Structure 1
């Protein structure tokens, strides 16, 4: 029997998840059906309920439903409780709807794939929304020397600072106050804002970058994202978009559902080549 999976969002046309999971299944010689579902917000609860009632095995969740899915499910771990967002749903052995968040593990794996280590590094995270919250538990787990969160409205950054204070001390600043001269340039800068959708970048000082700085954009594009261009223009050592994270977080979901570990690098290379 073919196992049913899918990704739920609104809109959902842009998603590459069916392509990625289809490639995973081919690699692992598994027979699955993975579809895109564009669901109206008011119908999300009933859709999820019906999907699993009809024998569905797993769902990926994307914008705007990650927080909603968190409220609907039982968190798989303390990290999920902290992130307050879920991108992976499944039923456990007693039929309980469980929510997991694979964004943080996916990011950390792709950073490692690109030889970017977080241990004892000075880290700057741009943005304090759901994307930043989702990756923070996994980042803190890697024991960076320091974390600074910069955001347009400092109040949102302060909220994250407070919620994660029992795990790590976090500094917060506005974008205009990010300056590597008053402190030190950062080892790793992660763009967790959505400004790239408009082709923009956070308005931070290029002095935050030094020759050994690695910059990572959670967004991805067939061309360089605005943040990747900014990083390259300011002589960062590495500037990488989020395609690898997209594939790696999908692989974590795939393993949760099916117990199989796909070759992610082959998929990333294939997408980069435009295949």
Structure 2
């Protein structure tokens, strides 16, 4: 019994009780140091295999993302009655579920961006260099184009064009301003969730955060799609919109295409500003 009591005492000292949820943020920054901002230009990255490996991971993730989601969209559109398909909820789940799975798979390699708006927001927050950001966005767009092209190959040109190719556009009954606003707010929700789920300070304080990070990000994508599919079909990802538009290549896809770049980039910038200035108050910290 004495030995057992000693084990219990040592165990209690080794694993001290955590602060209650919701109060730990008020404490100090124990065992935590603010990561230095990424340099704007980092030419040395261009000679590193990990740099190109990360780009390939972004390409493959965006390729798979478009393949699964566009096929799901077209399956719903092709049915005469939505009751016989997964419906809007199923489309939202396909987008959110794929982001969850792909962020989980690629987070340790590239950070799991899979979205130029996410990359842009992290660039503004100095989480990655301009060199890496440009490379990621190029690879994401190429992956999206290839993913949509494979779907077109499976469906056939006639059927693919008849079903709309999964291309984004502002739906009837809504103005371009409505569509732009929906894309701004939707991307803000996504990028704000990304910042919160991957915050280095939270990772140091709460060890479970890195493990759970893909879950809230995927869930945010799911919820935004539920809200905005009736308005714009939901872009919040310029690569997704570009890939579908290029492969579909009809006027309907290009008329409102600017909305699916301007809206997400504004939303990402606002989310980065809010997180850095309000949530983290980094610009106002004393030396």
Give the TM-score normalised by the residue count of structure 2.
0.26
Greater per-residue strand proportion: 1
Which protein shows a greater Rg? 2
Bigger fraction of residues in helix: 2
Higher relative contact order (CA 8 A, sep 6+): 2
